[in-house]
Amino acid sequence: MIARPQLIALQILVAFALIGIWYVGSSVPIFGTYFLPKFFFSTPQDVFMRIVKMFSGTTIWKHIGITLTETMLAFVIGSLGGVVFGFWFARKPLVAAVFEPYIKMANALPRVVLAPIFMLWLGLGIWSKVALGFTLVFFIVFFNVYQGVKEVSPVVLANARMLGLNERQLFRHVYWPSALSWMFSSLHTSVGFALVGAVVGEYLGAAAGLGYLIHEAEGVFDVTGVFAGMVILAAFVLVVDAVVTQIEKRLLVWRPEATQKS
């Protein structure tokens, strides 16, 4: 494996190379033409200035705050729902058998088609975005918890029984941690989807949020604004992902992979 400082150096190098190509293509005429015309691609320096300008005001924080709120709500509510239903289905095979085709159908549905309906039902505020994120997060968590409860090692279970644990204690000390570990193993995916739900929802109809910002800029062919919004969104995703990684490390100390990765 490559050492960490070297890795970071290489990663920064890639960023510089890409920005360099972008800069040359959009700002340096070659044989009198620009490879990446400004109207379609903007320029790195313009995008940078735009971001600086956005952050000199306070409205950008309002947009970030809204997107973050929607993401968190979708994640928390979706996870709660997924955990409850995952447990219920895993412990009641009849319920699981009856609902299986419906769950599969609902999960196969592309969520974007639901967005207008949610807006109709819940308005243009944050709740229609939360609902969209919920439909994405719920199924990820649901399937993982369902799997986690069903795939508890029979030996660990038999051992716990022999140690005198009753049903309630088995739930708390065996099923629950096993289900949680499966849920946390999909933490990155579910937080990511909560964010996708929020941004796509904003994009399709909202008055605030990062998705709304990008959509607005696109509406007036403001490519610089679109790129600035995308860069901010990407940075936002990286920060959220880093926070999730930290939480994961805390919660999954008992896992072989968690310690090997660090």
Partner 1 sequence: MAAGAVALDRVTIAYPNGYEAVTAADLVVGEGEFVSLVGPTGCGKSTLLNAAAGLIAPASGEVRIFGAPLQGLNRQAGYLFQQDALMPWKNAADNVAIGLEAAGVPRADALARAQDWLTRVGLKNFGDRYPHQLSGGQKKRVAMAQMLIRDPKILLMDEPFGPLDAQTRQIMGNLLLDLWAADRKALIFVTHDLEEAIALSDRVVIMSSGPKARIIGDHRIDLPRPRNALDIRLDTRFHNIQQSIWAQLRAEVIKAYGDVA
- The token pair at 260 is 């090997």
* Closer CB to partner 1, 2 or 162, in the complex: 162
Beta bridge partners of 30: 33
Q: Which of 158, 207, 238, 242 binds partner 1 (CB under 8 A)?
A: 158
Residues in the chain: 262
Window 89-128: contact mask with partner 1 (x via CB under 8 A): ----------------------------------------
Given candidates 173, 188, 218, 237, which one binds partner 1 under the rule CB under 8 A? 173
- For residue 247, the minimal CB distance to partner 1 (Å) is 16
* 160 Cβ contact list (under 8 Å, min separation 6): 169, 170, 173, 174
Applying CB under 8 A, among 11, 101, 164, 220 the residue interacting with partner 1 is 164
Residues 132, 114: contact at Cβ < 8 Å?
yes
Q: How far is CA 159 from the centre of its chain?
A: 38
CB of 182 to partner 1, least distance (A): 12
In the region spanning residues 125 to 154, those forming contacts with partner 1, defined by CB under 8 A, are 153
Asked if 219 interacts with partner 1 (CB under 8 A), we say no
Q: Of the two residues 28 and 163, which places its CB atom closer to partner 1 in the complex?
A: 163
One character per residue 235-254, x = contact with partner 1 (rule: CB under 8 A): ------------------xx
Task: Dihedral sign for Cα 17, 21, 22, 27, please.
Answer: positive
Rg of the Cα trace of the chain?
A: 23
Among 174, 196, 233, 244, binds partner 1 (CB under 8 A): 174
Stretch that binds partner 1, among 112-120, 162-170, 208-216, 234-242 (CB under 8 A): 162-170
| Window contacting partner 1 (CB under 8 A); options: 31-39, 47-55, 175-183, 192-200 | 175-183
Nearer to partner 1, 59 or 159 (CB): 159
- Contact 241/191 with Cβ under 8 angstroms? yes
Residue 145 Cβ vs partner 1, minimum distance, rounded to whole Å: 15
Closest approach of Cβ 165 to partner 1, in Å? 5
Residue 161 binds to partner 1 (criterion: CB under 8 A)? yes
Residues that bind partner 1 (CB under 8 A): 153, 155-156, 158-166, 169, 173-174, 177-178, 181, 253-256, 259
